[in-house]
Amino acid sequence: MKKIIRWISDASGVSRDVKKQPMKTIEPNTMITARFATDADLRPKIKVVERVDREKSSFAVMLIDGELVKRKIHSDRDKEYVFPYGKYSMAPIAH
- For 19-29, write each residue's pLDDT tens digit: 677 888 999 99
Question: DSSP readout, 8-44?
Answer: HHHHTT--TTPPPPPPB---TTEEEEEE-SS-TT---
Which H or E run includes 67? Answer: strand 67-75
Contact criterion met (CB below 8 Å) for 93 and 35:
yes
- For 33-43, write each residue's pLDDT tens digit: 999 998 889 99
Q: Rounded to a whole number, what is the distance in angstroms from the first to the last CA of the chain?
A: 40
Name the nearest CA neighbour of 47 among 26, 23, 73. Answer: 26
pTM: 0.73
14 — pLDDT class (breaks 50, 70, 90)? low
